[in-house]
Structure 1
Amino acid sequence: MFTEKEFISEGSILRGRWYYAQDRSDAPCIIMCHGTSATIKMCLTDYASEFQKRGFNVFLFDHAGFGRSDGKERQIINPWVQAKGIADAVSFVKTTKEHNNGKIVLWGDSFAGMLVLTVAALVEGIAGIVSFTASCGLKVMNFETPEDDFQTLKEIFNAGKFEELEDFSR
């Protein structure tokens, strides 16, 4: 059993499902993200239902441009836009405190397995990460000054200047 929810990310309405914990409302919330171009109806609903039965709240949503979510472009995979959507989902869940205890776990499948690792590094307050069959990108990054490069990536991510980052969709 779930309730339809929506939130805003980068000017687009992202739509998803909230599975309320069956045994308590103050449970942790697992934000589940599907990989590549999948939608919530394709593969994660069974997992969400099982987590719900075991006492977790679950929020599952479609990335921008996929499934029921709006987006500037349809069916275009931009990892930075998807990562920002996950970060905005975290903010959305934090505003629904009556339905969770503030502990947020990110669960990503495939391509989103990589994205939840990125988001957890950039967003504070994540209690845990599950990176399920994670993709690890198309190339290996070679940071010469890791702390400076990480700070630059974080500033670009937080400012939403995704055009400054590599776009793997083309």
Structure 2
Amino acid sequence: FRTLEDVLAALHLQVNDWAEQAVRAAVADAAGLPLADRVATIFHAYAADVTADPRRIRITFVEIVGVSPRLEEQRLARRARWIDLIRAEAEAAVARGEAAPRDYRLPAAAFIGSVNGLLHDWSAGWVDATLDEVVTELVRQLLGILRPVEWENGR
């Protein structure tokens, strides 16, 4: 590496690759499960991977932000990949009749913001909860996005 920024860029990509691999494996493992179980399985896999080492959370949610235009572009490109992954899973749930038909770009971006904020705050000790409680809350949020009350009530 020529600079510390190059090291950070490589670490950021590696941490995201590990998390994405864990999520894709969970997607395969959760095939055929009802939506709530599928979402929980996938998100537990993500959370377990990204919190496996506290440095992963710092790299992913803290250290990468605002370092330089190059790293900001990399961070946003990775975020776009996560948005695409969430959208693909949401659209598959819609096709199965398990989720409300809608454009999931904005909700996926909002959910990622919740994930980043809550996992960072939990890892910093600002949230008095277990990781399972944090994951359960985030799964509830995602299920609320996928199945809004008005859709559940047939409106």
Task: Tell me, yes or no, whether TM beats 0.5.
Answer: no
Q: TM-score, normalised by structure 1?
A: 0.32
Q: Which has the higher strand share?
A: 1
Which has the greater radius of gyration?
2
Q: Which has the higher helix share?
A: 2
